[in-house]
Structure 1
């Protein structure tokens, strides 16, 4: 036990028992080395102060002060042993260093997104946010350059980090990317990289999904609105040639919008929940619609070129729409 005993308080009356994977020496290249070997786990013991833990963590306070078996044992015998087989001993040891104000005997692994996510998971589990706030701010700042700019495997890790450590800017950035670029089914709180569920409340996921669908639906509505305008309003063409010319120009403009939208699969719009689509893709596709008027087709130099301003208006509407879907506010979920 001595080799795997970590003492955070020499007079500590509480011992945690964790498990660490034993790394076996690399074997030769014989075929025998490819046989399956079960994972070997070694116990890791951590001696801690129950008083410090109860001050730092409402979870441990409830465990040790109420009628849980750990609290009963501690009061009856003056010490208690608590198994924590699911907790990472390296991460848990780092948190115990912070709780006890001790200097680490061995440096932690290099801080990266996955390691910080592991810390966030345990901080949330034991509700240590306030106790580690100074440290967590420094950890996040050191890794800000790793913040995903697009939807990738680390986005959900950073959403977890920003939520647990109450980082409003990072939370807004991650939810912005998610609502604009998520395909819906990819908002999974299970992390394959860590083989753990991330402590992200379902109400946050539901809000992102709802805003994603609304953003996509509103994008299709922009197309529908201009189809209605070109069908039911007076012609956009202001040519002085003739009324017939203006209506012909308008019809060609409408036709190019309908044809271009249909060719790109944008009209008629697909049904919700818009599988395999995201807001960013839909907006980009809408801007690819080739709109042309009779005036531009005939090369009339004294008339507005292109689409008589319709495409520019669609682009402007999409820019305004994008500004509306710019992420969630952390304070709305506290």
Structure 2
């Protein structure tokens, strides 16, 4: 079938975009219409990881929104998965801060059992999270944030320990 050849050729020569863009949204349409399951799943994964908006159809502009052939249930699933991934990542930041905030009343987290160490870690963690606009945690649907960007931002948070000095 010509579409099999055409899509295989596109994948080999151009590749499926790795970032959210209008071309990736068009790949969603193309893989849906021609029932290319493997490529469709890759497109969905790329969208879930790199979309920084809950309006996937909006990327294509108003002219495509009314005739978008992909069912809304698919778009809703992509958006839901994106929000769930972001919520999961933010929950780890929130949990770390909560553990450090409660260490004064419970067990000290520092391996050297120094309260000042926990306080320094908490302070630097919260300060860098504030600077990165990750704290306080924004409200869902997290417009402007993609899963990949949040993962990278969390890895780049600087944390200093009193024990380091």
**Which of the five TM-score ranges fits, normalised by the shorter chain?**
0.7 to 0.9
Task: Provide the rounded CA distance (Å) in 1 between the counterparts of 2:101 and 2:59.
Answer: 48
SS at match of 2:53: coil
Match of 2:42 in 1: 173
Once the two structures are superposed, the pairs formed by residues 182-193 of structure 1 within 5 Å of their partners are: 182-188=51-57, 191=60
Label 1:236 to 1:161 Cα distance change in 2 as closer, same or farther (>3 A). same
Post-superposition offset of 1:159: 0.6
Q: Is the Cα–Cα contact under 8 Å of residues 108 and 115 in structure 2 kept in the other structure? A: yes
| Higher RCO, Cα 8 Å, sep 6+ | 2
Match of 1:236 in 2: 109
Higher strand share: 1
Task: Provide the rounded CA distance (Å) in 1 between the counterparts of 2:88 and 2:75.
Answer: 20
TM-score by length of 1: 0.44
Task: Provide the rounded CA distance (Å) in 2 between the counterparts of 1:168 and 1:158.
Answer: 12
Match of 1:253 in 2: 121
Label 1:258 to 1:190 Cα distance change in 2 as closer, same or farther (>3 A). closer
4+ residue runs over 4 A deviation: 189-192
Higher helix share: 2
SS at match of 1:172: helix
In the alignment, does 2:28 pair up with 1:155? no
What root-mean-square deviation, in Å, do the aligned CA atoms of Structure 1 and Structure 2 show?
Answer: 1.8
Match of 1:220 in 2: 90
Residues 163-198 of structure 1 deviation map (CA, whole Å, 9 limit, x = unaligned)? 122212211111111111112244017845xx5433
Structure 1, gaps ≥5 residues long: 1-133, 299-334
Match of 2:3 in 1: 136
Structure 2, gaps ≥5 residues long: none
Q: 2:161 aligns with which of 293, 303, 324?
A: 293
TM-score by length of 2: 0.86
Q: Is the Cα–Cα contact under 8 Å of residues 157 and 198 in structure 1 kept in the other structure? A: no
How many corresponding residue pairs? 157
Once the two structures are superposed, the pairs formed by residues 103-114 of structure 1 within 5 Å of their partners are: none
Task: Provide the rounded CA distance (Å) in 1 between the counterparts of 2:96 and 2:59.
Answer: 42
